[in-house]
Amino acid sequence: MPRLDRHSFAYTGLLAAVFVFALLASWTPIGSQIDNYVYDWNFRLYHPKPWPTESIVLAIDEGSLKAFNGRLGLRKALADGLERIASASPKAVAVDAILADRSDEESDGALERAFRATRNLVLPSDLLRDGSGWDDPLPRFRRWAAAVGHVHLEPGLDGVGRALTLEKAFAHDRRWALSLEAFRVSRSATILETPRDLEVGGITIPADYSSGRTMRIHYRPPEFDPIPVVTLKQLADNPALARQFAGKVAFAGVIAQTETNDRWLTPYSSIPMPGVEVLANAFDTIAQQKFLTSAPAWMVVAFCIFLTAAAGVTFARLSGRWAIATALVILAVAHMAPYQAFTRGTVFPFSPGFSTAWLSIAAAAAWQHLYVRRRLVKSEAERDRYQHAVQFVTHEMRTPLTAIQGSSELMSRYALTDEKRTQIAHLIHSESKRLGRMIEMFLNVERLSAGEVDLKKENFSVRAIMAGCVERAAPLAERKQIRVTIDKLVDETLTGDRELMEYAFYNLLTNAIKYSPTKTEVTIFGGRDGDRCSVAVQDQGIGIDRKEVRQIFQKFYRTKKAEQSGEAGTGIGLSIVEQIVLQHGGRIEVTSTPGKGSCFTLVLPLGQPVAAKPLAAN
Ligand code: ADP
Mean pLDDT is lowest, of 78-87, 242-251, 386-395, for 386-395
Q: Is 272 in the pocket of ligand 1 (CB under 6 A)?
A: no
pLDDT band at 172; cut points 50, 70, 90:
confident
Residue 568: pLDDT over 90: no
Backbone dihedral region for residue 159 (phi beyond 0: left; psi -120 to 50: alpha; all else: beta): left
pLDDT band at 113; cut points 50, 70, 90:
very high
Q: Whose CA is nearest to atom 2 of ligand 1?
A: 569
Ligand 1 atom with minimal separation from the 569 CA? 3
Residue 145: pLDDT over 90: yes
Q: Is 544 in the pocket of ligand 1 (CB under 6 A)?
A: yes
Q: Which residue has the higher pLDDT, 379 or 237?
A: 237
Model confidence pLDDT, tens digit, residues 473-511: 888 899 999 999 998 877 888 888 888 888 899 999 999
Per-residue model confidence (pLDDT) at position 4: 57
Ligand 1 pocket test, pick from 392, 482, 511 with the greatest ligand atom count within 8 Å of Cβ, gives 511
Q: Whose CA is nearest to atom 25 of ligand 1?
A: 543
pLDDT band at 388; cut points 50, 70, 90:
low
Rounded to the nearest 5 degrees, what angle is found at the Cα of 354, between the Cα atoms of 352 and 358?
120
Q: Whose CA is nearest to atom 10 of ligand 1?
A: 571
Q: Enumerate the β-bridge partners of residue 151.
A: none
Q: Whose CA is nearest to atom 8 of ligand 1?
A: 571
Residue 252: pLDDT over 90: yes
Q: Is 509 in the pocket of ligand 1 (CB under 6 A)?
A: no
φ/ψ of 233, rounded to 5, equals -65, -45
DSSP 90: -
Q: Whose CA is nearest to atom 11 of ligand 1?
A: 558
Residue 610: pLDDT over 50: no
- The predicted model gives 134-156 an average pLDDT of 91
Ligand 1 pocket test, pick from 385, 552, 565, 593 with the greatest ligand atom count within 8 Å of Cβ, gives 552
Q: How far is the CA of 402 from the centre of ligand 1 (A)?
A: 28
CA distance 151 to 128: 11
Q: How far is the CA of 413 from the centre of ligand 1 (A)?
A: 43
- The predicted model gives 359-368 an average pLDDT of 93
Q: Is 389 in the pocket of ligand 1 (CB under 6 A)?
A: no
Is the separation of the CB atoms in 74 and 114 below 8 Å?
no
CB atoms within 10 A of CB 433: 11
Q: Which residue has the higher pLDDT, 436 or 577?
A: 577
Radius of gyration of the chain (CA): 46
CA distance 76 to 91: 22
Cα–Cα distances (Å) from 563 to 253, 560, 589, 593, 595, in that order, read: 94, 5, 22, 17, 15
Per-residue model confidence (pLDDT) at position 391: 65
Residue 438: pLDDT over 90: no
Within 13 Å, how many C-alpha atoms sit on residue 371's CB side? 14
Q: Across the chain, what does the average pLDDT equal? A: 88
Q: Is 330 in the pocket of ligand 1 (CB under 6 A)?
A: no
Q: Whose CA is nearest to atom 21 of ligand 1?
A: 511
Q: How far is the CA of 567 from the centre of ligand 1 (A)?
A: 10
Per-residue model confidence (pLDDT) at position 395: 63
- The predicted model gives 376-397 an average pLDDT of 72
Q: Whose CA is nearest to atom 12 of ligand 1?
A: 552
Model confidence pLDDT, tens digit, residues 202-243: 999 999 998 889 999 999 999 999 999 999 999 999 999 999
Q: What percent of the chain has pLDDT over 70?
A: 94
Per-residue model confidence (pLDDT) at position 611: 42
Q: Is 539 in the pocket of ligand 1 (CB under 6 A)?
A: yes
| Contacts by 470-474, CB closer than 8 A, 24 or more apart | 470/509, 470/524, 472/506, 473/506, 473/509, 473/510, 473/513
φ/ψ of 553, rounded to 5, equals -90, -5
Q: How far is the CA of 257 from the centre of ligand 1 (A)?
A: 90
pLDDT band at 613; cut points 50, 70, 90:
very low
Is the separation of the CB atoms in 80 and 68 below 8 Å?
yes
pLDDT band at 323; cut points 50, 70, 90:
very high
Residue 362: pLDDT over 80: yes
- The predicted model gives 116-143 an average pLDDT of 90
Q: Is 206 in the pocket of ligand 1 (CB under 6 A)?
A: no
Q: What percent of the chain has pLDDT over 90?
A: 56
Residue 9: pLDDT over 50: yes
CA distance 109 to 118: 14
Of these ranges, 317-326, 568-577, 608-617, the one predicted with the greatest mean pLDDT is 317-326
Q: How far is the CA of 605 from the centre of ligand 1 (A)?
A: 25
Per-residue model confidence (pLDDT) at position 449: 63
Ligand 1 pocket test, pick from 442, 508, 550, 574 with the greatest ligand atom count within 8 Å of Cβ, gives 574
Q: Is 569 in the pocket of ligand 1 (CB under 6 A)?
A: yes
Q: Is 542 in the pocket of ligand 1 (CB under 6 A)?
A: yes
Model confidence pLDDT, tens digit, residues 407-426: 888 888 888 888 888 988 88
Q: Whose CA is nearest to atom 3 of ligand 1?
A: 569
Per-residue model confidence (pLDDT) at position 445: 64
Q: Whose CA is nearest to atom 13 of ligand 1?
A: 558
Closest residue by Cα to residue 495 from 601, 584, 614, 615: 584
Closest residue by Cα to residue 143 from 169, 118, 175, 162: 118
Q: Is 503 in the pocket of ligand 1 (CB under 6 A)?
A: no
Q: How far is the CA of 180 from the centre of ligand 1 (A)?
A: 87
Of these ranges, 60-74, 445-459, 500-514, the one predicted with the greatest mean pLDDT is 500-514
Q: Where are the beta strands (DSSP E) in 275-377?
A: 293-294, 346-347
Q: How far is the CA of 611 from the centre of ligand 1 (A)?
A: 37
**How does DSSP assign 134-187, residue by residue?**
EEPPPHHHHTT-SEEEE------TTSB--EEESEEEETTEEEEBHHHHHHHHHT
Per-residue model confidence (pLDDT) at position 617: 31
Per-residue model confidence (pLDDT) at position 122: 97
Is the separation of the CB atoms in 274 and 253 below 8 Å?
yes
Residue 441: pLDDT over 70: no
Per-residue model confidence (pLDDT) at position 226: 92
- The predicted model gives 138-142 an average pLDDT of 94
Q: Is the pTM of this model over 0.75?
A: no
Closest residue by Cα to residue 89 from 225, 240, 248, 208: 248
Q: Is 558 in the pocket of ligand 1 (CB under 6 A)?
A: yes
Ligand 1 atom with minimal separation from the 512 CA? 23
Burial class (CB in 10 A: 0-12, 13-18, 19+), 370: exposed
Q: Is 573 in the pocket of ligand 1 (CB under 6 A)?
A: yes
Q: Is 515 in the pocket of ligand 1 (CB under 6 A)?
A: yes
Model confidence pLDDT, tens digit, residues 293-316: 999 999 999 999 999 999 999 998
Q: Is 570 in the pocket of ligand 1 (CB under 6 A)?
A: yes
Task: Please list, in sequence order, all residues whose beta carbon lies within 8 angstroms of the beta carbon of residue 187, skipping any fewer than 6 positions away.
Answer: 200, 201, 202
Q: How far is the CA of 173 from the centre of ligand 1 (A)?
A: 88
Q: Whose CA is nearest to atom 20 of ligand 1?
A: 511
Q: Is 597 in the pocket of ligand 1 (CB under 6 A)?
A: no
Task: Please list, in sequence order, all residues whose beta carbon lies within 8 angstroms of the beta carbon of residue 123, skipping any fewer than 6 positions away.
Answer: 95, 99, 115, 137, 141, 142, 145, 147, 148, 149
Residue 461: pLDDT over 80: yes
Residue 618: pLDDT over 60: no
Is the separation of the CB atoms in 146 and 121 below 8 Å?
yes
Ligand 1 pocket test, pick from 385, 444, 559, 560 with the greatest ligand atom count within 8 Å of Cβ, gives 559
- The predicted model gives 180-206 an average pLDDT of 95
- The predicted model gives 267-294 an average pLDDT of 93
Ligand 1 atom with minimal separation from the 574 CA? 6
Q: Is 512 in the pocket of ligand 1 (CB under 6 A)?
A: yes
Residue 616: pLDDT over 60: no
Residue 361: pLDDT over 90: yes
Q: Is 540 in the pocket of ligand 1 (CB under 6 A)?
A: no
Q: Whose CA is nearest to atom 14 of ligand 1?
A: 558
